[in-house]
Copies of this chain bind each other. A is one copy, B any other.
Amino acid sequence: MKQVNVAILGCGTVGTGVARLLLDNGDIIRDRIGCALHLKYVADIDMDRARGLDLAPGVMIPDAAAAIADPDVHIVVETIGGEGIAKKLIMGAIAGGKHVVTANKALLAKHGNAIIEAATARRVDLAYEASVGGCMPIIKAVRESLVGNRISGMTGILNGTCNYILSKITDEGVDFKTALAEAQAKGYAEADPTLDVGGYDAAHKLAILSALAFGMKINFDDVFIEGISRITPLDIEFAAQFGYRIKLLAIAKFDGESVEARVHPTMIPFDNLLSNVNSTLNAISIKADAVDEILLYGHGAGMMPTASAIVSDLADIARNLASDGAGRIPVMGFQADTIRSIPVMSMDDIVTNYYFRFDALDRPGVLAAISGILGKYAISLKSVHQKGRKANGSVPVVMLTHQAREADVSKALAEISVLDVMVGAPMLIRIEDQNGQD
């Protein structure tokens, strides 16, 4: 095989990046894989979007369906995004026997099982390295490098927007709104930032990774999701006093029977490498029996890092084409007939350590009332901190707990929140601290 023909659907940031990388680094790619990745089509309704690219005549076309229908096209790259037209085109490409590469995590998280089933049945490759962690080779690491391991957990910073905002609040003491506005001004956050700051994007990625790591069907609906919009500079300051930094973590754990899958702001100790991953960067730590732990770090988004991951998928598929190896690696890392529906644990059953912050009126008996309720639900405290500074007559009361069950914590906080002395809703931040979990 001298040449593999590629069609890119969608000429936005990522599609443009892929086209640019194929054009600029085509020589070294060919030297490595032994055949050319030839850019046959870039399809976009808005033909002007290819302006920055030096495309040969006829490469830019307005009709994605025409690119899919061309029998010379081997691989279709979907960089349109969203769950409508993107899904339709991917399913059409698979039906037509094309191999597919996508970075579309929302689509895979919500409709991945059906798409994977179609690709497996049609014996075409479906590759998605760019869907999680940008250029970090996390899909390859889990599917290939850890093939001999039983994976027990993953802890990742998987959303650059949130990490930028939290880093900003940490470094400059600004509030969430100011940090978000700055992220938007720099192009790190969308005009409607909900998908990112609400934790949904990280949850999409976690659903994909959990399936891949544990051999389960993709289950996005059961991922617990909590965003970062309630995090204040005060919480970050308290966290630092206890030796923690606050990150939006995507956490998955597997005990052999059920899976924990949750995305929420989390306190992690300074000596955890993840606590030193700042700005828009991503990182993920994977725990597994043979390796103990590996960690990957890199840009989780951006034009060229994402393009790099897509080109690595293209190269893998091109190599499969050269050796008649389509389906060489099953889409989700496990042979299709071994993939199970592993139950995701209810958030109620999670056991972890907690940080609470209560804004209470500075009156006698407040601490007794709060700790009485916590005691009733068997939540035992590791430490209590009352900060002298008052604001509007209230003082922050901060508590760190020993291990407690989420259901108990929810009930206790509901009771505490309706105490007369409480000003505003209680703040709860979960703690991941391997050294301090007791």
Copies in the complex: 2
Size category of the A interface is: 35 or more
Contact of A295 among B17, B22, B296, B308 (CB under 8 A): B296
Which residues of B have CB within 8 Å of A293?
Answer: 298-299
A186 within 8 A of B: no
* Residues A294 and B304 in contact, CB atoms below 8 Å apart: no
138-153 of chain A: CB within 8 A of chain B: 140-141, 143-150
253-294 of chain A: CB within 8 A of chain B: 271, 273, 276-277, 288-294
- Spot the interface stretch: A160-168, A200-208, A322-330, A423-431: A322-330
* Residues B295 and A335 in contact, CB atoms below 8 Å apart: no
A237 within 8 A of B: no
Which residues of B have CB within 8 Å of A346?
Answer: none
CA distance A323 to B325 in the complex (A): 5
* Residues B32 and A334 in contact, CB atoms below 8 Å apart: yes
A33 within 8 A of B: yes
* Residues B319 and A323 in contact, CB atoms below 8 Å apart: no
A241 within 8 A of B: no
CB distance from A30 to the nearest CB of B (A): 8
CA distance A27 to B239 in the complex (A): 43
Q: List 26 A-B contacts (CB under 8 A).
A: A21-B148, A29-B147, A29-B148, A32-B147, A33-B147, A34-B335, A135-B145, A135-B290, A137-B137, A137-B145, A140-B141, A145-B309, A145-B312, A147-B315, A149-B308, A273-B273, A288-B308, A289-B304, A291-B298, A292-B305, A294-B298, A319-B325, A323-B323, A323-B324, A323-B328, A325-B328
Additional A-B contact list (12), CB under 8 Å, known A137-B294, A322-B325: A25-B289, A31-B335, A32-B333, A32-B334, A135-B291, A137-B140, A140-B144, A140-B145, A273-B297, A291-B299, A293-B298, A319-B328
